[in-house]
Amino acid sequence: MKKLVVGNWKMHGSRAFNAELIQGLLASDLATTAPRADVAVCPPFVYLAEVVAALQGSAIGVGSQDVSVQVQGAYTGEVAGPMLREVGATYAIVGHSERRSYHAEGDQLVADKARAALSHGLIPIVCVGETLAEREAGQTEAVVGRQLQAVIDTLGADLARIVVAYEPVWAIGTGKTASPEQAQAVHAFLRAQLKSARAEAATVPLLYGGSVKPDNAAQLFAQPDIDGGLIGGAALKAADFAAIARAA
């Protein structure tokens, strides 16, 4: 299976910053050679069209950081799947822990967003993960299993068309990283859950997210059930992001 590395820029960027970052990415081998991994970046909504245009002709794809379950209407602040597709997005992150925490997004809403993304030609990157308290209480599998099950129940036969990202909440932006063995254990559990639900879903790409850096990426990506990464802070530095993608 080809690896996938996705950079989540979160709420960072400006026209000047983006131009410098993209220039660095285009100068790297990610854009000029046939990459052994698929690579994409997810900028804030307001920069999507500009980033798509700037990366035109390169091997680097573009995705959004969220998608609405609605197609159109009186939904102030929402961005619909058809809008994202029209400006050139390929992926849509759904259920990121920051959305679940800061915007009270529940499992079913995340599953509905995944379905909405698929219905409009976007590939949803469905995020699951546990907090430190949940891990210390031995609830990791129960939590991520519940989060993924909502998606399984909602998507049915479309399950094999998604990407899943395991992002332990305690390792996001903290500098802490799950050990390769810890990450692999959860990925193996998720793989088994997907395969049990739909045989064809056994090949759904499973990404790891949580303080992935150039110096730990190769060890993480070498695990049998880790198919790439959802990269946060390191995605804002062209050299670091390129190094992580090369490690994949």
Task: Please say if 105 is a catalytic residue.
Answer: no
- The token pair at 68 is 């609405």
- The token pair at 235 is 């995605």
Give the β-pairing of 163-166 and 123-128. Answer: parallel
190 φ, ψ (degrees, to nearest 5): -65, -40
DSSP state of 92: E
Task: Please say if 12 is a catalytic residue.
Answer: no
Choosing from 96, 98, 105, 120, the catalytic residue is 96
> Is 51 in contact with 26 (CB distance < 8 Å)?
no
Q: Is 156 helix (H, G, I), strand (E, B) or coil?
A: helix
What are the binding residues for substrate?
A: 8-10, 173, 211, 232-233
Non-local (6+) Cβ contacts of 242 within 8 A are 24, 25, 28, 29, 30
What are the binding residues?
A: 8-10, 173, 211, 232-233
Choosing from 98, 120, 167, 187, the catalytic residue is 167
Burial grade of 41 (CB within 10 A; 0-12, 13-18, 19 or more): buried
Residue type at 121?
G
Dihedral angle computed from the Cα positions of residues 51, 151, 156 and 191, in that order, rounded to the nearest 10 degrees: 90
Catalytic annotation, residues: 96, 167
